[in-house]
Amino acid sequence: MSEVYNWQIGRSMKYQYPEAHPDSQFAFVFNINRCIACQTCSMACRSTWTFSKGQEHMWWNNVETKPYGGYPRNWDIRLLDMLEKENPGGQEWRGPRGDAKESAPYGEFKGKTIFEAAEKYVGPESPVRVLGHTPTDDEWHSPNIHEETATGKSMEKGQWTRSTELPAHDIWFFYLQRLCNHCTYPACLAACPRQAIYKRPEDGIVLVDEKRCRGYRKCVAACPYKKPMYRPTTRTTEKCVGCYPRIEGKDPALSPDGVPLETRCMASCPGRIRLQGLVDVDKKGEWKPDATNPIQYLVRERKVALPLYPQFGTEPNGFYIPPRWVPRNYLVQMFGPGVETALEQYCCPDRELLAVLQLFRTTQEIIFRYEVEKGKKVAEIEVTLPSGVKKTQEIYNDTVIGYNKLGKEAVRTTVEEPTFERPSIHVNSI
Ligand code: SF4
Ligand code: SF4
């Protein structure tokens, strides 16, 4: 085992291999608040990559309803329980939060990661390199189970006893959009005895070498997000490939200049919840500071988007703007201690943040840099923040411009949505 630094847990941790980092890293931000669970993303992925025999149960991208839904069923609860059993009462975060130092933006995780908890694990499969579990066939069977099933206790004797009001609703659910996080310290890669899984040096995408894979399914057990999937017809594991031909700009129809394009799931999202990027990484794995890259701005500069279960320790590169109506203890368990800071900003975004939030799903080209052109003030509204503080939000109709890898303008959009008047020739006569 080697010592590696994981900025998401604010400390060094043990990992199977020494530090080795790509030049740039595939990353994405999802705004959970906007998702309408239409599953267009899931279908876009499926119709591109997993429509063949033996892939029937494969949803590399899935959208599940929390808290009850999960694909495979209970993927996260089971692991949280296993970690608690290995380290009773010890899975805690401590230290400064929110505005903490750059190397530990959410404070320090004092508990055990899935790599550390595996060291003393005793179970039917031990010794293991990574603490995990292999879901049963039955658990893979119902990808959208419990869709839109809410939890809460406001109903008594058939009567609503409480209203649902922000900052947190009594009755709640939310949609969680998931794909492989192309982790910095992939658990799938660490667990593979065949060294069949590798992380590409050019963009950090994690791939399975199908020729080396023997279908031992160690990666399925190890991935805390359960994103490698076994294919019985080939007896190998398959997983999200990050639509790498699109990332490489190899689609001559859509990318004649060879500029990187968003993946199919990102590019198809009608809810406009998704923003994909590539961030530059230094030799130690740190993101090279560049607040003009929208992903960097949202994750590192403003800390408004947070990793999913950072305490697992894989340093996932998918980040989420948490849903603002959900009880905070649930969100903190899922996204770590940065939740309060993230929501305080999201509920009353300042001028620049509001402009950057407009960039989501506006172009198929990956945005490497953005600029904001100042516009007129168009509104002033009173906002109560989750903390109870009252604030006046000033809204400006700024224009935000996104540039592609070649520095060419890929998108230009305004904070106020333009309105179009339908010409009388098209007036609906019904
Ligand atoms: S396409 Fe977008 S809005 Fe629809 S389910 Fe997927 S993430 Fe949500
Ligand atoms: S999410 Fe799972 S499959 Fe994807 S890189 Fe991380 S550990 Fe591997």
Distance 223 CA to ligand 2 centre (A): 5
CA 189 to ligand 2: nearest atom:
8
pLDDT by residue (tens digit) across 186-201?
A: 999 999 999 999 999 9
Asked if 415 and 352 count as a contact pair (C-beta separation under 8 A), the reply is no
Question: How many C-alpha atoms does 297 have within 13 Å on its Cβ side?
Answer: 20
18 to 15, 71, 181, 270: CA distances (angstroms): 7, 31, 20, 41
Asked if 347 and 324 count as a contact pair (C-beta separation under 8 A), the reply is yes
Distance 319 CA to ligand 2 centre (A): 14
Distance 229 CA to ligand 1 centre (A): 22
* Mutation probe of ligand 2 site: the residue of 17, 60, 180, 184 with most atoms within 8 A of C-beta: 180
CA 272 to ligand 1: nearest atom:
2
What pLDDT is attached to residue 316? 98
What pLDDT is attached to residue 251? 84
* Mutation probe of ligand 1 site: the residue of 38, 47, 61 with most atoms within 8 A of C-beta: 38
pTM over 0.85: yes
Distance 181 CA to ligand 2 centre (A): 6
Query: Among 83-92, 247-256, 342-351, where is mean pLDDT lowest?
Result: 247-256
What pLDDT is attached to residue 12? 96
Distance 228 CA to ligand 2 centre (A): 7
CA distance 112 to 110: 7
Mean pLDDT of 277-285: 94
Residue 100 has pLDDT above 90, yes or no: no
Asked if 261 and 349 count as a contact pair (C-beta separation under 8 A), the reply is no
What pLDDT is attached to residue 96? 61
* 373 contact partners, CB below 8 Å, separation of at least 6: 398, 399, 400, 401
- CA 243 to chain CA centroid, Å, is 16
CA distance 353 to 291: 12
* Termini Cα distance of the chain: 71
Number of helical H runs and strand E runs in the chain:
11, 21
Distance 43 CA to ligand 1 centre (A): 10
Looking at the CA of 276, name the nearest ligand.
1
Mean pLDDT of 246-260: 91
CA distance 132 to 152: 30
Q: Which residues' Cβ are closer than 6 Å to ligand 2?
A: 180-183, 186-188, 206, 223, 225, 227-228, 239, 314
pLDDT by residue (tens digit) across 27-47?
A: 999 999 999 999 999 999 999
The Cα diameter of the chain in Å comes to 74
Residue 98 has pLDDT above 50, yes or no: no
Nearest CA-CA partner of 114 in 37, 197, 226: 226
Asked if 208 and 236 count as a contact pair (C-beta separation under 8 A), the reply is yes
* Mutation probe of ligand 2 site: the residue of 182, 185, 207 with most atoms within 8 A of C-beta: 182
Asked if 164 and 154 count as a contact pair (C-beta separation under 8 A), the reply is yes
